Every structure is written in structure tokens, then in C-alpha cells.
Amino acid sequence: MSFEIRSKDLLGRIGQLRTKHGTVETPLLLPVVNPHHQLIPAQQLRNTFGFDALITNSYLIWRRSRQEGKVPKVHDLLNFDGVVETDSGAYQILQYGDVEVQPNEIVKFQETLDSDIAVILDVPTGQELSKERAKRTVDETIRRADEALRVMSRKDILWVGPVQGGIYPDLVSYSAREMAKRDFSIHALGSPTPVMEQYEFDTLVDMVMAAKLNLPPDRPLHLFGGGHPMMFALAVALGCDIFDSASYALFARNGRFMTVQGTAKLEDLEYFPCDCPTCHGKTPEKVRNMIPVDRERFLASHNLHACFSEFQTIKQAIVDGRLWELVEARSLAHPALQRAFRRMLHYAPNFEKDTPIRKKKGPFITTPASLNRPEVIRHQQRLLERYQAPSRANTIVLLPESYLKPFRENPSLEKLLRKIERQPGVHICSYNLAFAVVPQELLDVFPLSQSVDALPPTTGTINYATTRILHYLKATAYNRCVIVVDQQWQKKIAKSLQIKLGRRTRTKVVESKKGAEDALSQIPKLLKGAKRRHRIS
């Protein structure tokens, strides 16, 4: 049994998780199934909706088995031939304060149930505890983890080691580091439900990242209680691999209709913004006139389709290298998600390390937030750390990005470019708001020519580009800079360079008044007679 990563983007990944009842693909949503009352039959979850795995509560089964005097096999009890994860009763501790079963007892019981994935009985931190009391839940969970590992006898069950700490990131980090030392196949972030119910998604970002950055990357991370399609993309981008939720049924019971844009009340809908198999051909009015049990089942079925569809969308975004775009788009659905997205930007360097160097499609750079994309951060870092300008170059010619791309198709511009290149000591680069300086010889390196840039020339983005250009120029041995401008924001960059570079690098501005050909034709005259100077390294 193992976890194999097939594709990744940001901290999200598509993986294959092997269990004794088959292999399932992550990101994975486990619908919560009540073992004694199934609104949607478990096998239907697989055959109709496409869920190959589910989660049920071993504590509820334990209570019933004590009354009946026998322990069933969980797959037989649910009539489900897919992968079954069993929870241990920690949710009941969070809700009611305690459970009758002992931690080691529920471990052995789950082995008897023949679960595929099983969770030890941890102590949820919740959201209301002081930091001192929260620390006790972390310590007690670690103690129980050690006891559970000693009594486990089956090696064919994937055991989950929960991470606690609640809203205290330092406690979550400590809990994650300690659980990482122990022999668990999967880890789970405990106690996020109260945070999600109150739409404190920015707090959730800190909780997930505190756990993710301190757990082994080869173990999946389960987000307990994460079950709304509006937040799946964000959580996957943060590195969550497995989700579980009863929201599809709980929301249906309350007449609520789930979408990636949020939750709607059935009574408020005139049209269904959905064409899933459940909604196709139906109207809200017809559904409102159904008998209650049919109406509840209709809404639960739609909610399941909405969740499953969003996971398919997320997986394709990972394959395409467009998870960033999806998360940013989803963040527009609610102000709480916008706050969470902005909070996610604080962890931008961590995303760069796990984002592939090459992708099927180039990134869309559309907002100032895009400057935190892994691709942009990577270019800026590697330009300063790994790139070396031509050794004899003492003059940099900075051209607007649009000037270089057409040369391959425009013979007259190509001729002017070659003329400039032949000048002694000249190094041609392009510049833009996102990647700042792009040496001409790197233009075809992903994603410099493959990206689509619609970044607005705001004060912030202009200052960003100016700062990055300055960093590059100060790290090189140029003593002269020629910058071509044809837009107002480019003029602002040029003016800043003239002021901040001073005498160290003489800066000459060429204003394009009649187009690219006119601007390029002026440059050889400026460079004529320039002295060749060896680069000092």
C-alpha cells in the first residue's frame, strides 16, 4: 500500500492511494454515510455519483454492536464494495465532550470491522479553548497515538494520525512535527469544522499550512469536515488530499442547494444554475412541490454531483497547470474566500518549491496577486542566482516586451535588431510588469513567452517591476542602460531608473513616437563609439 503522486501544481497533487479494497485517486472526497440510516444508499454513491470511497463512524457501529452482541464487517454493513474509512468518535467528543469507548478499544474494533482506512481516537481542540487547554489536547492526542501504535496488529489498514492545535498555528506545527515522527500512512487536520462554519477561511489557511509544512510530503493530508465545493480548490492548492463531509445531506435536510458560488435556499431559486443529471429538466417550483423525503433526496443528489464535478475541475486544473487561476476565480465567490486567497499569498515561496518548472499551458497573469505566482517568483530568484549576463556586455538595451515577439515574423524589425546586436558590448533584454527583465536568450524558456499578461499598470505593479529591474542591474556589470518606452507606465519606470541608478549606470531613454521601427533605428546611433569594457566578475 502506498501513495504515488502523478501530477502536481502549487501544493495540490493528483495521487494514487492504494488500499486493500482498491486504488483511489486524490484529491478525494469521502461522503459521510450514517451506518444505520442512508439517505443515498452507499453503493449508489459509487455507481451513480462516482465516489469510490466513503467514510462512516465506527463509534456509532460500536454502540449498536454492543446492543446486538456481534461485530459486522463494515463493507457488508454498508453494502459497499469500494474503499471505506472509519472515524473513531472524535467528532462526538467535539460535539458532546466525551464518548464511552476507550481509545485502544476503538482501534481494535476498527481492525475487526476490516476498515481500509482508520482513525485513532484523538482529542479535538475545537475553537473555544485557551491556548493552555489547546496544548493539552495536542499532548493527549500524541499520547493516544503512541498507545494506538502499540496495540495495532494489522498492517493492511492505513492508519490516520490526526494533527491538533486548533486556531493556534504554533501548536498545529508542533503537533504535526510530532505526528510526523510516528508510523502513520495518512495525517489529518483536526478541528477545522468550527472555523469553516464561521467562514473564517483565512484562519483555515494558517491552520492547513502549519500542518502541511511540518508533515512528510509522501503522506496524504486529510481535511476533516471539509465538504463545500466553494472551498475545495483553495484547500487542494494548500495541499489537502482527502476531504470528508456530511454537508451534502445536512444541507439537503435544510433545503439548501450547493454550488461553487456558495449555498442557495431552494425557496429563493427561480432557476437551477446547474445541469447535472439530477437538475436536468427540473425546476425549483417542481422540486418545492415534492414530498419532503423526495425533495431532500433530490437536493442531496444535486449536492453530491456539485461536489464531484468540482473535484474533476480541480484535477484538470492541476493537469493543465492552472490551479492558481481556478483558486483566484473561486475566491471571487465570497469576501471570506477573498480574505483567504490574500492570506494564501503570504505562503507564496512555499508554492514555488512544489510547482512544476514546465507545464502544458502558460500562466495567466491578470491581477497584482499574480505577481505571487510560483512562475514569477521562480524567474526573479533564478535570474539573480543562476543567470550570468554575457561577459563582455557593458550596455543593456531594454525593449518593451511587444518589440521582441514580432521579430520572427517582421523582416524589417529583425534586420534592425541584428544591427543593434552587432554593436560592441550590447546585451538585449525585454521588460514587462510581471517578469521585469527577460534576457533575449531566455525568451523561449517556459513560461516567459508562453504566459498571457494582462497585468494593470497600477502604482504597485509599476513599483514592483522597477524594483526588480533595479535588482538585476545592480547585480550585473553594465555601465550603460538604454530603455525604449512607448507607454506611460514605461516612462515612469525609465524615470525611476535614471534617478536611482545615477552615475553608476548611465541611463538613456528612447521614446517611441512613430512605432517600434522608429525606436529601434535610433539605438545604433546612441551606441556608436561606445567603448567595449570587460565584465568584472
Kindly report the CATH number assigned to the domain that includes residue 10: 3.20.20.105
Main-chain phi, psi angles of 306, to 5 degrees: -65, -40
Angle (deg, nearest 10), helices 229-237 and 292-320: 30
Pairing mode, if any, of strands 83-87 and 53-57?
parallel
- Please report the pLDDT score of residue 535 as a whole number: 34
99: in domain: yes
Give the other-Cβ count within 10 Å of 92's Cβ: 20
389 and 250 co-located in one domain: no
Report d(CA 201, CA 203) in Å as an integer: 5
DSSP state letter for 190: -
312 and 378 co-located in one domain: no
**428: enclosing H helix or E strand:** strand 426-432
Q: How many domains would you assign to the chain? A: 2
User: pLDDT higher for 265 or 66?
Assistant: 265
Percent of the chain predicted with pLDDT > 90: 79
The contacts of residue 194 (CB under 8 Å, 6+ apart) are 126, 127, 128
129 and 95 co-located in one domain: yes
392: in domain: yes
The contacts of residue 506 (CB under 8 Å, 6+ apart) are 479, 480, 481
pLDDT band at 504 (very low <50, low <70, confident <90, very high): confident
User: pLDDT tens digits, residue range 134-159?
Assistant: 999 999 999 999 999 999 999 999 99
325 and 177 co-located in one domain: yes
533: in domain: no
405 and 461 co-located in one domain: yes
Report d(CA 204, CA 200) in Å as an integer: 7
User: What's 431's domain CATH number?
Assistant: 3.40.50.10630
537: in domain: no
Task: Give pairs for 441-444: CB < 8 Å, separation 24+.
Answer: 442/387, 443/404, 443/405
* β strands within 47-95, DSSP E: 53-57, 83-87
Residue that the C-alpha cell 510530503 belongs to:
217
Helix and strand totals (H; E) in the chain = 22, 20
- Please report the pLDDT score of residue 468 as a whole number: 96
Nearest to 84, CA basis, from 226, 235, 244, 251: 244
357: in domain: no
Task: Kindly tell me if the per-residue pLDDT of 429 is higher than 90.
Answer: yes
- Please report the pLDDT score of residue 410 as a whole number: 76
Residue that the C-alpha cell 493543465 belongs to:
320
373 and 516 co-located in one domain: yes
The domain boundary residue, chosen from 318, 347, 376: 347
- Please report the pLDDT score of residue 204 as a whole number: 97
Residue that the C-alpha cell 546611433 belongs to:
525
241 and 331 co-located in one domain: yes
- Please report the pLDDT score of residue 516 as a whole number: 86
Nearest to 395, CA basis, from 523, 517, 287, 257: 523
- Please report the pLDDT score of residue 532 as a whole number: 44
256 and 403 co-located in one domain: no
- Please report the pLDDT score of residue 297 as a whole number: 97
Contact 324, 376 (CB under 8 A): no
The domain boundary residue, chosen from 313, 347, 381: 347
224 and 330 co-located in one domain: yes
Nearest to 101, CA basis, from 159, 158, 145, 60: 60
The C-alpha cell at 522 is 535610433
197 and 98 co-located in one domain: yes
Task: Kindly tell me if the per-residue pLDDT of 274 is higher than 70.
Answer: yes
443 and 493 co-located in one domain: yes
Main-chain phi, psi angles of 429, to 5 degrees: -135, 160
Alpha-carbon radius of gyration of the chain? 29
> ∠ at Cα 241 (238, 244), nearest 5°?
110
Percent of the chain predicted with pLDDT > 70: 97
The domain boundary residue, chosen from 347, 381, 414: 347
Average pLDDT over residues 305-332: 97
The C-alpha cell at 25 is 485517486
Task: Kindly tell me if the per-residue pLDDT of 528 is higher than 80.
Answer: no
Task: Kindly tell me if the per-residue pLDDT of 358 is higher than 60.
Answer: yes
- Order of strands across the sheet that contains 83-87: 28-31, 242-245, 221-223, 186-189, 158-163, 117-119, 83-87, 53-57
Query: How far out from the chain centre does Cα 445 lie?
Result: 24
Poorest-confidence range of 60-64, 125-129, 195-199, 403-407?
A: 403-407
The C-alpha cell at 246 is 456530511
360: in domain: no
Please report, for residues 3, 64, 331, 469, the alpha-carbon distance to residue 27 in angstroms, rounded to integers and kept in the order given. Answer: 12, 32, 19, 39
The C-alpha cell at 176 is 504535526
Pure H helices in 267-333: 284-288, 292-320, 323-330
Residue that the C-alpha cell 425557496 belongs to:
267
- Please report the pLDDT score of residue 534 as a whole number: 34
- Please report the pLDDT score of residue 67 as a whole number: 87
User: pLDDT tens digits, residue range 367-418?
Assistant: 999 999 999 999 999 999 999 999 889 999 999 998 887 656 678 888 888 8
535: in domain: no
Average pLDDT over residues 260-275: 96
Range of the domain at 84: 3-347
78: in domain: yes
Among 9, 87, 202, 206, the active-site one is: 87
- Please report the pLDDT score of residue 407 as a whole number: 59
Q: Give pTM, 2 decimals.
A: 0.93
158 and 272 co-located in one domain: yes
Verify whether residue 518 is a known catalytic residue.
no
Report d(CA 470, CA 396) in Å as an integer: 12
